[in-house]
Amino acid sequence: METNPNIEDQINRALKSVNNIEPVELPFGFSDRVINRLHTQQNNVRSIYTISPLLKVAAVFVLILINIFTLRLALSPQPTQSPAQFVTIRDFVNDYQINDTNDELLTVNTPAHE
Amino acid sequence: MEVDIQELKAGNEQAFRQLMSMHGKGIFNLCLGMIPNREDAEDITQDVFVEAYKHIGSFREGAHIKTWLFRIALNKCYDHIKYSKRQKRHGIMQSLFDKDDNPIELPSNFQHPGIAIENKEHAKALYGALATLPENQQTAFNLYEMQGMDYKQIAETMAVSVSAVESLLSRARAGLRKKLQAYYTSNASS
């Protein structure tokens, strides 16, 4: 496609518009502003370091509390589970699989010598 | 005369001031080339030197400090461009109702003190077209056309080969031509 000569001229002028850029001087006081920024940032960093020991102590304190809580839980007496109440001695036997017990013993309540 | 790197690493303020007086102008003009606004470019140049001061310990001796500073500056400029694009995305509703169907978006706060007044309108169009190109093409074009660097220096700054620089420049010019043609054609017809 052929380009309009006027448009072609404008394109060339646009492309060449940045060829002869004059180097621009740094604004006055640039170095001082950078140095001030550095000093400000260094002061901020220092103030963070003054807080950090407090944070460390707080973190250690929280850890100690968690440990104490865990130890107390571990050492506290567990609620004793009541052994299962057997309604009859047969239930007891069934539960513990006492095979060598004969029925006679279970059924006869009276002593043998009577 | 180069700045004493050991003094810089030791945190010597005087050496740091010397570094700024030697390379400040170059960095500022590089930033102006990427972001054509005097205030933004100055802010970014300040950021570059703050960053350099903080990370001078990681600077490898034997390397060129100018190249190192230029790389920091380019990264800062990319960050700024990304941030500006994100800000513009918030104005999506506005763009939906915007009747202006120009193929390129002219920079709204264009203020480059180094460009002659008679070239300002064309330079604005060029910056608008440049903003549509990929970052590496923008950088290569800026370093070659605006900073006057040669291929070797650009290759070192961008950490690419010389042939890659040639290719980037050729693609950048082709892309710019295409965008500018669409822009001027749409302006002529409207």
pLDDT of residue A93: 73
Question: What distance in Å separates the CA atoms of residue B35 and residue B80, rounded to the nearest whole number?
Answer: 9
Q: Quick one: residue A106, left, alpha or beta (phi over 0 = left, psi -120 to 50 = alpha)?
A: alpha
Confidence of residue A85 (pLDDT cuts 50, 70, 90): low
Q: With an 8 Å Cβ cutoff, is A100 touching chain B?
A: no
DSSP type of residue B106: P
Q: Does residue A53 lie in a domain region?
A: yes
A21 or A68, greater pLDDT: A68
Q: Is A25 inside any structural domain?
A: no
What is the arithmetic mean of pLDDT over B104-123? 85
- Cβ–Cβ contact A17 with B under 8 A: yes
Residue A94 lies inside a defined structural domain of this protein = no
Q: Which chain A residues contact residue B145 at CB under 8 A?
A: 18-19
Return the pLDDT at A102.
58
ipTM, two decimals, is 0.79
| Chain-chain contact of A21 with B49 (C-beta, under 8 angstroms) | no
Distance, in angstroms, between A57 CA and closest chain B CA? 29
CA-nearest of B9, B37, B13, B31 to B138 is B31
- Are residues B125 and A14, on separate chains, in Cβ contact within 8 Å? yes
Go through A101-111 and write b for each residue having 16 or more CB atoms within 10 A of its CB, e for each that does not.
Answer: eeeeeeeeeee
Chain B positions touching chain A (beta carbons under 8 Å): 13, 16-17, 20-21, 24-25, 28-29, 32-33, 38, 42, 45-46, 49-50, 53, 112-116, 119, 122-123, 125-126, 129, 145-146, 173, 176-177, 180-181, 184-185, 188
Domain assignment present for A92? no
DSSP code of residue B26: H
Tell whether the model's pLDDT for residue A3 goes beyond 90.
no
Please check whether residue A14 lies inside any domain of the structure: no
Domains annotated on chain B, with CATH: 1-96 (1.10.1740.10), 99-190 (1.10.10.10)
Closest listed residue to residue B71, CA positions, set B52, B57, B43, B50: B52
Q: Are A21 and B114 a contacting pair at CB < 8 A?
A: yes
Domain that holds residue A45: 32-73
Residue A21 falls inside a structural domain = no
Assign residue A49 a region (left: φ > 0; alpha: ψ between -120 and 50; beta: otherwise): alpha
Tell me the three state secondary structure of residue A13: helix
The tokens describing A34, both together, are 């950078």
Q: In whole angstroms, give the CA distance from residue A107 to residue B66.
A: 106
**For chain B, percent of residues with pLDDT exceeding 90:** 58
Q: How far apart are CA B68 and CA B32, in angstroms?
A: 18
> Does any domain span residue A39?
yes
Please name which of B4, B119, B123 lies closest in space to residue B65, comparing C-alpha atoms. B4
Q: How many folded domains does chain A comprise?
A: 1
pTM of the prediction? 0.70
